[in-house]
Amino acid sequence: MFSIRSNPRLKCLVPLLLVVALTGCVSNYTNTARAFQSSYNGGDYANSLLEAEALMTNASAEDEVVLKLQLASVQREAGKIKASIDTLEAVEDLFGRYDAVPEVSLSGEGIAAFSNPYAFPYRGRAYDRIMATTYRALNYLEIGDQEKARVALNRALFRQEDAKRMVAEKERIAREETNNAESKDYNVGRVTRSAEVTSAMSEGAADFVGLPIYQDYMNPLSVWLHGVFFLHTAQGIEDVEKARKSLERAQALAPQNPSIQEDATWAAKSGDRPAVDGKCIVYVVHEAGTAPVWAEHKFNLPLIVFDNNAPIVTAAFPKISPVPNRDNLSIRCAAGNFNPAPLASMDAIVAREFNDELPGVRTRAVASATLKGIAAYVANKAAGEYNRRKKTEGSGLFYLATIIATNTYTTQSAQADLRNWATLPKNVGMVKIVAPISETIYLQNDLARQPVPFTIPNAKSIILYCKTPAKGGPLSLHKIILNP
């Protein structure tokens, strides 16, 4: 009778097959994380919040950062501002914890090479960290805590400086992994340069036509918010100077927005806060649409060896695509009709960092897939040699089962890391209007929804922060008092 237990040669396959079984587990992150997306995009923030909270209940430590970022967005739109603050502060603590431990390079011999990317913690991209701190500042401003908002906005500028360090570190790791892979004898370098991988890279790269390029990973929304905050809460000439620098930088990043230039000019000429007697300066900010959608592109690698025992080897890269539908906003008041001008393109910010990460993602995916293929090849060859010697029905069945198992493993275990902050907007626009106190202004989406009225409060300056995640969805409003 056929028995692995009775054959010492086949016993050596058992640990390998256990590794295959354990490390080939497929993550269901993508499907579960999208559970709340439909409700969120449709403006059903109450149900979206319940679904996002449910995801956190069963979240793994590796997914904690990305799920908390999305939870904080839902909490904010559901009116749970203090809860959103708490969640974002918890995320900030996680960022600090991850920064204290250097990001590990993939070792060619390590068991991590067999793991899918979801086995590694999501540490947050540079734009995640900048936007998380920016939303913390907006939340603090909404509840009237300007001191904590000031700290958060300064932190957001630091995060933008730190973005260059993060990108440089990822580039260093990518070079290290590429050199490590090419120094081995399993042909990862050759495979990486193959036509199949080159074609997959071309398809996977984010090629969004006509997007702005923001220098040094700057985020125009964060820079503008820093400037307008210090302009309208200035406690002296030093704050006005901070405002001037940020507003001039924001103007360079978003030259199509005349409202920024107007404030930059004021800050350069005046040492005091802007004010208009009997009227309120209103900044209407509109987050429209959703950031790029992430998907998986799978493809077969060239054969690692030319042998009947060589398995099918599959690699997976992420790819992103823009979400086309977004709402435009119009504001109607006694002074006329206004539309927000471009302030920031999250599509541009996400696409740039995605493309910068792609070479490292490519090397890691190809190295992992190739090593899985080698392990499967060794298992197939050992089972084939045993069958050739024994030529029994049992040995033949074992050989067939090994071939099926290893091919299933090398094709099904390939996964691209699709974790991303899916609730970020596509674009952010802003317009500055001056309206009499107590006047009602009307805000309306593209589609034929009833205009949303808003009464100007008794304040010198405010931010009216609006959001429509999907075209035709309801418009949410956040009132922020800058200068009472």
Looking at residue 8, its pLDDT comes to 45
Query: Quick one: CA dihedral 443, 445, 450, 452, positive or negative?
Result: negative
Alpha-carbon span 471 to 478, nearest angstrom: 19
- Assign 33 to helix, strand or coil: helix
Looking at residue 112, its pLDDT comes to 45
With 50 as the cut, is the pLDDT of residue 475 above it? yes
Give the residues across from 293 on adjacent strands: 321
Q: Of 16-30, 241-255, 335-349, where does mean pLDDT reach its minimum?
A: 16-30
Tell me what the mean pLDDT of segment 416-433 comes to.
95
Cβ–Cβ under 8 Å, residues 350 and 291? yes
Alpha-carbon span 276 to 295, nearest angstrom: 50
pLDDT tens per residue across span 40-73: 888 889 999 999 998 888 888 889 999 999 999 9
Q: Are strands 452-455 and 440-444 parallel, antiparallel or unpaired?
A: antiparallel
The tokens for 468 are: 């429509």
Looking at residue 299, its pLDDT comes to 79
Tell me what the mean pLDDT of segment 438-452 comes to.
85
For the chain, the 3-state helix, strand and coil shares in percent, each to the nearest 5, are: 55, 15, 30
With 50 as the cut, is the pLDDT of residue 18 above it? no
204 band by pLDDT with thresholds 50, 70 and 90: low
Cα–Cα distances in Å, from 49 out to 173, 206, 430? 37, 30, 27
Alpha-carbon span 451 to 454, nearest angstrom: 10
Looking at residue 15, its pLDDT comes to 39
Map tokens 């390998």 to a residue: 16
pLDDT tens per residue across span 24-34: 455 666 666 67
pLDDT tens per residue across span 162-180: 888 877 777 777 677 666 6
The tokens for 33 are: 């994380």
With 70 as the cut, is the pLDDT of residue 260 above it? yes
Tell me what the mean pLDDT of segment 380-389 comes to.
74
37 band by pLDDT with thresholds 50, 70 and 90: confident
Alpha-carbon span 321 to 241, nearest angstrom: 40
The tokens for 57 are: 């209940």
Burial bucket for residue 45 (CB in 10 Å: 0-12, 13-18, 19+) = buried
pLDDT tens per residue across span 222-232: 999 999 999 99
Cβ–Cβ under 8 Å, residues 345 and 211? yes
Cβ–Cβ under 8 Å, residues 377 and 466? no
Q: Tell me the pLDDT of the chain averaged across its residues.
A: 82
- The helix (run of H) or strand (run of E) holding residue 365 is helix 346-390
